[in-house]
Amino acid sequence: MQFKKTLLLTKKIFRPHNLRRYILHVALRGNNVECPCCGSKYLTFLPAGIEKRANAACIKCGSLERHRNLWLFFLINSELFKKQTKLLHVAPEKIFYKKFCADKNIEYHPIDLHPADYNYGTKTIEMDLTNLQYNNNFFDAIICNHVLEHIPDDIKAMKEMQRVLKPGGWAIINVPTNSQLPHTIEDPNINDPEMQLKLFGQPDHVRVYGSDYKQRLQHSGFEVEIVQCSSQFDSNKQFYYGLKKNESIYMCGKI
């Protein structure tokens, strides 16, 4: 039995992708950076993105700047999960999925429109964010991290999340934004990946949000506080945790 387990583990490690990651995990081990999501420490994080960003991706868990920023926010605000919490998680990142599944205070509801197309956890339910199959005021909390930029009718998705959130509940609804843009740029007639890449920065994005994103959330019924979690750390710590300087967290509430 032990031999079979060792053999399976060896086969898993020596798959090309896993072998590369294992080699990097060993070769770049150090103390220059630390991933708060998995606790791994390295000389540097790996480059990531269409236009490569340095010090971006954790070798072990694959977290990016936005994941580490959000997890640090949860660590700093640990009271968010101190009581029993009914949590809706849209497009559930694997690094968070495992943590939320293991938390006894969380009744976990992960959903995605196409869960079979991605390596989501087995609890993930196929569901459209613009047509949530839950009653009004059902959830204590919602996490929707970098999802709305993929959804044609983002306002309907916002209103659906507002509908199912309990009064007094909280929702983190983050998107990539360009603070240089006063207004969001979008065109529902554009569905060509090359044009989407050129205009919106990624071939599967349908818009690029400007500084009016907060107003879009407010018009959908949310109270909104913009939190700059990374600004709580000096530049050395920002590098250490692999954070972007201006990675905003949109903390939404419902009266």
What is the mean predicted confidence (pLDDT) over 161-187?
Answer: 97
The tens digit of pLDDT for each residue in 121-136 reads 899 999 999 999 999 9
Q: Set out the domains of the chain in order of their start, with CATH numbers.
A: 2-63 (no CATH), 66-253 (3.40.50.150)
The tens digit of pLDDT for each residue in 51-70 reads 999 999 999 999 999 999 99
The answer to whether 196 and 205 have CB atoms below 8 angstroms apart is yes
Q: Which two tokens stand for residue 6?
A: 């060792």
Confidence of residue 9 (pLDDT cuts 50, 70, 90): very low
3-class DSSP state of 250? strand
Angle of helix 65-76 relative to helix 94-102, nearest 10 degrees, comes to 30
Indicate if the pLDDT at residue 14 is higher than 50: no
Rama region for 177: left / alpha / beta (φ>0; ψ in -120 to 50; rest) = beta
